[in-house]
Amino acid sequence: MDVDPHEKHLAELNIARLRYPQGDPRAAEFFDNLDRVNGAAERMAGFVWRLKDEGGNATAFRISEDPMVIANLSVWETAQALEKFVFQTVHTGFYRKREAWFEKMATPSFVLWWVDAGHQPSLAEAADRLARLTAHGPSAEAFGWEQLASTQLWQSARCG
């Protein structure tokens, strides 16, 4: 596949701290539906890539020393494609139930940033973006949903 070197895609990282370990019946609904939700993402128009192991799972990747913190890292062609997946698919129902499975985190747990088309960010790169957002607030290098709507940030990020 030929990739335009000037084209940008949207990377996202979200992390969460599980209330219960895998295997605990209170977390079963979440873990039992991971393949279903991830499969829906991968079939979405605009989906590019997600971090996963050979079995299609991402929960074994560690972004912190805490084994209860899990990460999801993906890349999308556009913000609209990601937004549609998050808020207009099977994912939406699980998103609404997140408090049943995940603790409220004291620091940001979600970050967006633009990447060159074809780039697959590492978990270390994603962690750095989340750390930037946490330490310095939103910028063209690390931002959230709210800033994505800002025309000035959108344009500077897409063209920068």
Report all structural domains of the chain as residue ranges with CATH numbers, in order of start.
Answer: 8-159 (3.30.70.100)
CB 81 within 8 Å of CB 45: yes
Contacts made by residues 19-27, CB under 8 angstroms, sequence distance 24+: 19/100, 19/101, 19/102, 19/103, 20/101, 21/68, 22/59, 26/100, 26/101, 27/101
- Encode pLDDT of 56-101 as tens digits: 888 889 999 999 999 999 999 999 999 999 988 888 888 888 999 9
pTM for the full model?
A: 0.87
Average pLDDT in the chain = 88
pLDDT, one tens digit per residue, over 92-134 is: 888 888 999 999 999 999 999 999 999 999 999 999 999 999 9
3-state secondary structure of 54: coil
Q: Quick one: pLDDT at residue 155?
A: 42
